[in-house]
Chain A
Amino acid sequence: MFDTLSERLNTALDGVRGSGTLTEDQVKKVTREIRLALLEADVNYGVVKEFVSNVRERATGAEVSKALSPGQQVVKIVNEELARLMGGSAHKLSFASRPPTVVMLAGLNGHGKTTAAGKLALFVRKLGKQPFMVACDTYRPAAVEQLQQIGREINVPVYAEGVEPAPEEIAERGIRAARDGGYDFVIIDTAGRQVVDLEMMEELKRVRKAARPHSVLLVLDVVTGQNAVEVAQAFQEYADFDGMILTKLDGDARGGAALSVVSVTGRPIKFASEGEKMSEFDYFYPDRMAGRILGMGDVLTLIEKAEQQVDKAEAEKQGKKLMAGKLTFEDFLEQMQMVKRMGPLSGLLGMIPGLNKQLQGVEIDDRVLNRVEAMITSMTPEERRNPKLLQNQSRVRRIARGSGSSPQEVQKLIKQFNQMQKMMRQMGKGRGMPRLPFRTG
């Protein structure tokens, strides 16, 4: 089993590194892997078919860029296609010109509507709105109490009439109560329902008609499987939702359902709900979801950053120097600054899939980099180019003073640098990865 699509693709493309364009045969191999990865992520079968054919078209004959391996190149195409399908950028909330803005939540049982109602209320209050919630789930035992308890917790009023009246009547009176009370953002919580229960679906239609909401949001659990498409179609027919809230994103589900639903209904995902805390709720960023579906952490962001920062020709020159054991402190400083431009070290490492877990508990301190940088910049240009000069102890003491560190620390850096030089010379004959000459944590 391969963990990530990029690994899969690199394996599929093994041996074609460096070739100018992708051949049809290579693309065929690659699309097979993409298809499997998407299916394992629960993207609907029909959606996968269409998607893969789009990618195939784009990838055939695509030029491989300087900074990327052919595998990465394909990943990039896949990612762009995914992000495009899911709507590119985040969808911000819009508010009614004549308040209150009414938002109705709908969805299957257990997908997190009531919790999402509370989270949304808290979210809009941070935007300066006065939220108000209406409890229209008259079916599930204690659902009304649940919304009331959440309301108390976040200090948002809840309109409830128990479980006897029809939900559409509760909705209507609830909105009136909100308007009378001067609240400008009403959230209507409805009962969870199965789409095969036509009576319940008809009821949803009635609630929608009575509430005349400005927005209907489908609440969808990120673990949903292949039937996400039918679910979305049914809710589109009966509730005509205009966006989605994706819930339980703090789990490890890949979330292919999100892609299925957007692809079939054309309705965007507007919010992401993750976590047990009421505050863990935000606008949804489609580009982040693409990486998740592909199971690649944020490796895509990393690829982009590398592309922006690395001049391929320069990198090759450096690599040759490195392998010849001719690396100087000057080169080293340059590389370090490049890494730093890509963002905080802890963030960078966190973007590498699989690595995140191993790093739990290990503290990554960017200050280590800063200290090393300070020491190197305290060297004269001559010293940087010719590290042998640093055998002189008075030079070491001067560098220590200049960088605010101890002579022992400078010695240590020099020693590690020399070790790395040696290692590189050996590796230059074989193959392997360079290692930074210092440890963190």
Chain B
Amino acid sequence: MARSWRNFFKWGTEEEERREEGSVSTEEVSGDAGPERVQEEAGWFGRLRRGLHKSRQAFVGQLNAAVSEFRDAEDEEFWERIEEILISSDVGVNTTAKLVAELEQRALERNITSGRELRELMVDITARMLEGDVSLDLSHRPSVILMVGVNGTGKTTTIGKLARYLPGEVMFAAADTFRAAAIEQLQLWGERTGAPVIARERGADAAAVVYDAVDAARREGTDVLIIDTAGRLHTKVNLMAELEKVRRVIERQMPGAPHEVLLTVDATTGQNGLRQARLFKESVGVTGVVLTKLDGTARGGIALAIADEVGVPIKLISVGEKVEDLHPFDARQFAEALFGEL
């Protein structure tokens, strides 16, 4: 069920013991134990499933109503209804068509006649679509995480939240030198989490900040360096080139780095999320998506479309403004939240 933070991080075996000893945050939020898991269920999972908002209830209600009327797989109207529900969740026309076709075929093959079985099948197929490598590679020293994404998708906030869960020494690099007060925003997160922040003045060359930061992280034996970058639209050729330069600077200084390139995608995004994922992947090699602002109204169906059409795994989801609202992604759980019973 709930993925624990402990399993989420992947690190070298020889370092495992040392890090586990020193990591307070993983202990705090581990979802392994029974009671804690239940608590977590009641937390984000509950929030997602029960829905805090009538619209979400209405949405899940629609699905329930549709599924409860399911009799046999030859009912065309039924599939149209499912199509409508998927598209209304931002899954997109292509992925929806694919999903419904598979669902229909398998339902026919297995001769499914009950809504309950059909729902299980839906969750199954969706979960498989979403499965991928969801661990975070922390086996290096420093492990370098580059945060990228379109303006306002929650890069800085994700960094602040993520730092709370990371074992060992964490350092931030304020490479968003463009937006007003972006550096200050990251510095406030630095104060809250105790992570030192490497920064220059606003308007400085982002690549230079990154150079300083990798340098400092290696010198000080930092475990994880997280680099915040300026939000940019994937269509801006110059800004994407700047990001590629940042990546090259990191690579040159530390071969093999960045070890993770995380793309933040706002869960309320429609089909443009696909373009974002595609172009950022082409440009800087995204290793995982952070789906942010997945609150009560956002269905986050775009995650499905991205996993299916772009092939980048979702690694983290954020369901609220608090630090506890950040979670490692779990394909099955997400599928259940999308289509599960109330």
Contact = CB atoms under 8 A, between A and B. Distances in A.
Interface of A: 36, 39-42, 44-45, 108-112, 114, 139-143, 145-150, 153, 194-198, 221-228, 230-231, 233-234, 248, 250-254, 256-257, 276
B233 A248 contact: yes
B139 interface: no
Given A197-B321, A251-B234, 6 more contacts: A140-B157, A141-B184, A142-B182, A142-B188, A194-B296, A194-B297
A196 B157 CA distance: 19
A234 B154 CA distance: 22
A252 B296 contact: no
A431 to B, nearest CB: 33
A126 B92 CA distance: 42
Given A109-B293, A146-B181, A230 B270 contact: no
B299 A227 contact: yes
Interface centre among A112, A143, A222, A225 (most CB of B within 10 A): A225
A97 B150 CA distance: 40
Interface stretch (B67-75, B82-90, B281-289): B82-90
A45 B83 CA distance: 11
Contacts of B187: 142
15 contacts: A42-B270, A42-B272, A45-B88, A109-B152, A142-B187, A145-B184, A145-B185, A194-B293, A223-B273, A225-B268, A230-B53, A230-B297, A248-B151, A253-B270, A256-B270
B299 A110 contact: no
Interface centre among B187, B188, B271, B273 (most CB of A within 10 A): B271
Ranked 10 nearest A-B pairs via Cβ: A110-B152, A225-B270, A42-B270, A196-B296, A146-B181, A149-B180, A142-B185, A253-B272, A141-B188, A145-B181
Contact of B293 (A40, A108, A150, A256): A108
Interface centre among A36, A221, A222, A233 (most CB of B within 10 A): A221
B257 to A, nearest CB: 27
Contacts of B275: 252-253
Nearest to B185: A142
Contacts of B271: 40-42, 225, 254
Contacts of A256: 270
B235 A276 contact: no
Given A223-B272, A225-B90, A112 B181 contact: no
B269 A110 contact: no
Contacts, number: 150
B243 interface: no
Given A140-B185, A251-B234, A223 B154 contact: no
B150 A36 contact: no
A5 to B, nearest CB: 14
A213 B219 CA distance: 54
B113 interface: no
Nearest to A118: B180
Contacts of B235: 250-252
B18 interface: no
B78 interface: no
A158 to B, nearest CB: 11
Contacts of A251: 150, 233-235, 272
A114 B179 CA distance: 11
Dominant secondary structure of chain A at its interface with chain B: loop
Contacts of B272: 42, 222-223, 251-254
Interface string B194-208: 000000001000000
A110 B151 contact: yes
Given A142-B185, A195-B297, A223 B180 contact: no
B152 A226 contact: no
Interface in B166-189: 178-182, 184-185, 187-189
B295 A194 contact: yes
B204 to A, nearest CB: 15
A111 B152 contact: yes
Contacts of B250: none
Nearest to A196: B296
B241 interface: no
B268 A227 contact: yes
Contacts of B233: 248, 250-252
Interface centre among B182, B185, B233, B293 (most CB of A within 10 A): B233
Interface centre among B151, B268, B269, B321 (most CB of A within 10 A): B268
Contact of B266 (A195, A196, A223): A223
B52 A196 contact: yes
Contacts of A110: 151-154, 266, 293
Contact of A226 (B87, B179, B185): B87
A4 B293 CA distance: 31
Contacts of A194: 293, 295-297, 320-321
A293 to B, nearest CB: 12
Contacts of A148: 181
B55 interface: yes
Interface centre among A140, A196, A252 (most CB of B within 10 A): A196
B280 to A, nearest CB: 13
Given A40-B271, A195-B53, A145 B93 contact: no
Given A196-B297, A251-B235, A253-B272, A223 B53 contact: no
Contacts of A153: 180
Contact of A145 (B180, B273, B293, B295): B180
Contact of A223 (B160, B189, B269): B269
